[in-house]
């Protein structure tokens, strides 16, 4: 107790080294047990005997390890006691903060990356099937580019610190950067896709797949075209993506902003209140009508009778027959916007039916979508309730609304619409480029698929290694490098242990754990004859192959 601070620090160092050394020794001995291979089939005798001997040794080692664990626990206690002497002050400089990713963000481990890459590849395939070209834009923009585009959600934008020079903000979606790109480069038509991360200082609900940094996956068609041809193709794309990802039954809800405005006008909503009432309607997918009505009346100052009229319309959904019915509706007939919207819907439904989408779509007057800038068709792909789906899915969609759904049964996984005036906001002369697009809610899709995989207990392969090059005994590392070089130069995916003399058992365990299909086992006896053993990892069958013929034989095996 009378030790000086320096003496204690020195003791901590010595004791820490001891503990680290013990742990290192333990780790280097830890191996996962290999399932007994006593069936033995075509394993050569020498390799079979070696495996048996090594398994024996492994048992002894496991006992030793247990004894060692006690020893480590003891020594750790001593270390902690020493540290306690110093109060909370003994931690090294590198430990002053919690090791974590920023709030609302996550790392993607190899397993997640494999799943994610599979999803994105399939989506890109659909985008390319429709003639999509890729672009990319910077992760941040001049703050002015984002200003005034997101309404009250602007508070969620990440700003960069003013370090001298331009004032920058992180992109909030991929749509505003697209509009800036088109205006800046005077591009009047493009079919582009863009897959990238966007940033929102939202309150993350990460257990439900809702993050502050998340992927968006957008396809947009810009250009001055005839009505609904591009719009219908976007709906087709949503259907193709959801079909190819096979994440369950879905419906694509359709509506039209012009019809919504016309309907509001017909019900007696003042024009300057359209957007506010529209964003109240947008909440219908997560709140009952009573709550939405209350918001309209109490917060947005609508009189009750007007709200009730809206309430009658927004509970309607259907197909072409509903459009007919509404075109005959006395109130709507009198409002040009409503008629135009309905005629647009009529055309859209016809084109969708030519695309074979009749069973997949629903004209739904309650669909409003959050953002202000839509000017025409809007749509949303929604997963139907599935008992197996994880609860509390999310919306994380085109141009905005990463809003949590309360219902816990269905999830919006794609959305978009027409926005004809956004590009014009950037053009010095206000020249408009009409656009229609769709955003796939890939984070939500990742969550659904991750849950599926976790439930199925299937382990995704995270590497593509085709052949593992193993040594049967010591002193073969140079031979391994020669064989590896031969395989790599032939384009074969191959790896080995970076130890000079790894145990055969450990090497074969590595193959099983990592689902590597083939292993080459090098041994002096075989090498003297210019041959190696080629082992199929799952069946454990081995056969001799001429070294010179190895790449061809491996390719033959892999094609099987």
Residues of this chain, 192-231, that bind a second copy according to CB under 8 A = 192, 197, 199, 201, 213, 221, 223-226, 229-230
Per-residue interface string for the shown chain with a second copy, residues 171-190, x marking contact by CB under 8 A = ---------xx-xxx--x-x
Query: Helices 550-559 & 477-489, crossing angle to 10 degrees?
Result: 60
Smallest gap from Cβ 139 to a second copy, in A, equals 6
Query: Any contact of residue 92 with a second copy (CB under 8 A)?
Result: yes
If the CB atoms of residues 88 and 92 are measured against a second copy, the closer one turns out to be 92
How far is the first Cα of the chain from the last one, in angstroms, to the nearest whole number?
Answer: 71
Q: Which two tokens mark 125?
A: 């395939």
Q: Classify residue 62 by its DSSP letter.
A: H
> Backbone phi, then psi, for 496, in 5-degree steps?
-150, 175
The single residue among 2, 163, 272, 456 that binds a second copy, judged by CB under 8 A, is 163
The single residue among 59, 81, 328, 481 that binds a second copy, judged by CB under 8 A, is 481
Q: Could you say which residues in the range 267-286 bind a second copy, by CB under 8 A?
A: none
Smallest gap from Cβ 385 to a second copy, in A, equals 27
Q: Which helix (H) or strand (E) holds 534?
A: strand 531-536
Angle at 413 between CA 124 and CA 134, to 5 degrees: 25
Only one of the segments 274-282, 367-375, 418-426, 523-531 lies at the binding site for a second copy (rule: CB under 8 A); that segment is 418-426
Query: Any contact of residue 27 with a second copy (CB under 8 A)?
Result: yes
Question: Is the separation of the CB atoms in 512 and 32 below 8 Å?
Answer: no
Question: Is the separation of the CB atoms in 63 and 29 below 8 Å?
Answer: no
Residue 35, number of CB atoms within 10 A of its CB: 8
Q: Could you say which residues in the range 508-547 bind a second copy, by CB under 8 A?
A: none
If the CB atoms of residues 431 and 555 are measured against a second copy, the closer one turns out to be 431
Which DSSP string do the residues of 223-266 spell out, in sequence order?
A: S--STTHHHHHHHHHHHHHHHHHT---EEEEEEEHHHHHHHHHH
If the CB atoms of residues 378 and 423 are measured against a second copy, the closer one turns out to be 423
Q: Could you say which residues in the range 423-442 bind a second copy, by CB under 8 A?
A: 424-431
Query: Any contact of residue 80 with a second copy (CB under 8 A)?
Result: no
Smallest gap from Cβ 151 to a second copy, in A, equals 16
Query: Any contact of residue 246 with a second copy (CB under 8 A)?
Result: no
Question: How distant, in Å, are the alpha carbons of 188, 375, 394, 461 from that of 389?
Answer: 42, 34, 12, 24
Q: Could you say which residues in the range 447-476 bind a second copy, by CB under 8 A?
A: 462-465
Smallest gap from Cβ 59 to a second copy, in A, equals 24
Q: Round to whole Å and give the CA distance between 522 and 40.
A: 19
| Pairing relationship of beta strands 250-256 and 213-222 according to DSSP bridges | unpaired
Q: Could you say which residues in the range 121-160 bind a second copy, by CB under 8 A?
A: 128-142, 144-145, 158-160
Only one of the segments 45-53, 358-366, 485-493, 518-526 lies at the binding site for a second copy (rule: CB under 8 A); that segment is 485-493
Smallest gap from Cβ 11 to a second copy, in A, equals 16
């Amino acid at each position: 107790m009378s030790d000086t601070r320096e003496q204690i620090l020195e003791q901590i160092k010595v004791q820490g080294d001891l503990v680290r050394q013990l742990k290192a020794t333990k780790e280097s001995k830890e191996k996962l047990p290999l399932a007994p291979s006593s069936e033995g089939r075509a394993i050569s005798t020498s390799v079979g005997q070696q495996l048996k001997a090594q398994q024996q040794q492994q048992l002894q080692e496991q006992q030793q390890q247990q004894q060692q664990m006690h020893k480590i626990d003891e020594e750790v206690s001593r270390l902690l006691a020493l540290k306690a002497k110093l109060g909370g002050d003994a931690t090294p400089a590198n430990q002053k903060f919690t090791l974590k990713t920023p709030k609302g963000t996550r790392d993607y481990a190899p397993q997640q990356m494999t799943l994610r890459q599979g999803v994105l590849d399939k989506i890109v395939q659909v985008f390319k099937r429709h003639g999509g070209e890729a672009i990319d834009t910077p992760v941040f923009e001049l703050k002015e580019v984002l200003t005034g585009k997101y309404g009250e959600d602007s508070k969620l934008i990440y700003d960069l610190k003013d370090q001298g020079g331009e004032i920058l903000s992180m992109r909030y979606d991929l749509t505003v950067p697209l509009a800036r790109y088109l205006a800046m480069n005077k591009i009047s038509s493009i079919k582009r896709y863009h897959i990238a991360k966007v940033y929102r200082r939202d309150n993350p609900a990460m257990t439900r797949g809702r993050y502050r940094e998340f992927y968006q996956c957008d396809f947009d068609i810009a250009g001055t075209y005839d009505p609904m041809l591009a719009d219908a193709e976007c709906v087709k794309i949503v259907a193709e993506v959801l079909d190819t990802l096979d994440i369950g039954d879905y419906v694509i809800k359709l509506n039209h902003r012009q019809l919504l405005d016309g309907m509001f006008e017909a019900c007696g909503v003042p024009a300057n209140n359209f957007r506010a009432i529209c964003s109240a309607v947008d909440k219908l997918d997560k709140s009952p009508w009573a709550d939405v009505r209350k918001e309209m009346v109490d917060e947005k100052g609508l009189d009750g009778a007007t709200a009730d009229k809206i309430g009658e319309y927004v509970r309607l959904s259907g197909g072409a027959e509903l459009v007919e019915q509404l075109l005959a509706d006395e109130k709507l007939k009198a409002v040009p916007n409503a008629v135009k919207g309905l005629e647009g819907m009529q055309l859209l439904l016809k084109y969708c039916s030519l695309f074979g989408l009749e069973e997949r779509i629903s004209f739904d007057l309650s669909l409003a979508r959050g953002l202000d800038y839509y000017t025409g068709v809007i749509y949303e792909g929604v997963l139907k309730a599935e008992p197996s789906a994880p609860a509390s899915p999310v919306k994380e969609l085109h141009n905005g609304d990463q809003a949590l759904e309360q219902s816990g049964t269905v999830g919006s996984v794609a959305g978009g619409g027409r926005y004809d005036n956004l590009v014009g906001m950037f053009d010095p002369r206000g020249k408009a480029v009409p656009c229609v697009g769709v955003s796939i809610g890939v984070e939500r899709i990742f969550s659904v698929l991750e849950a599926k995989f976790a439930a199925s207990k299937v382990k995704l392969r995270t590497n593509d290694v085709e052949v593992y090059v193993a040594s049967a005994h010591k002193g073969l590392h140079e031979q391994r490098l020669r064989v590896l070089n031969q395989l790599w130069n032939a384009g074969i995916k191959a790896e080995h242990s970076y130890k000079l003399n790894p145990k055969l058992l450990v090497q074969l365990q590595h193959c099983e754990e990592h689902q590597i299909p083939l292993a080459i086992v090098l041994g002096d006896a075989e090498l003297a004859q210019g041959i190696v053993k080629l082992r199929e990892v799952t069946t454990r069958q081995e056969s001799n192959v001429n070294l010179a013929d190895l790449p061809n034989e491996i390719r033959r095996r892999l094609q099987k």
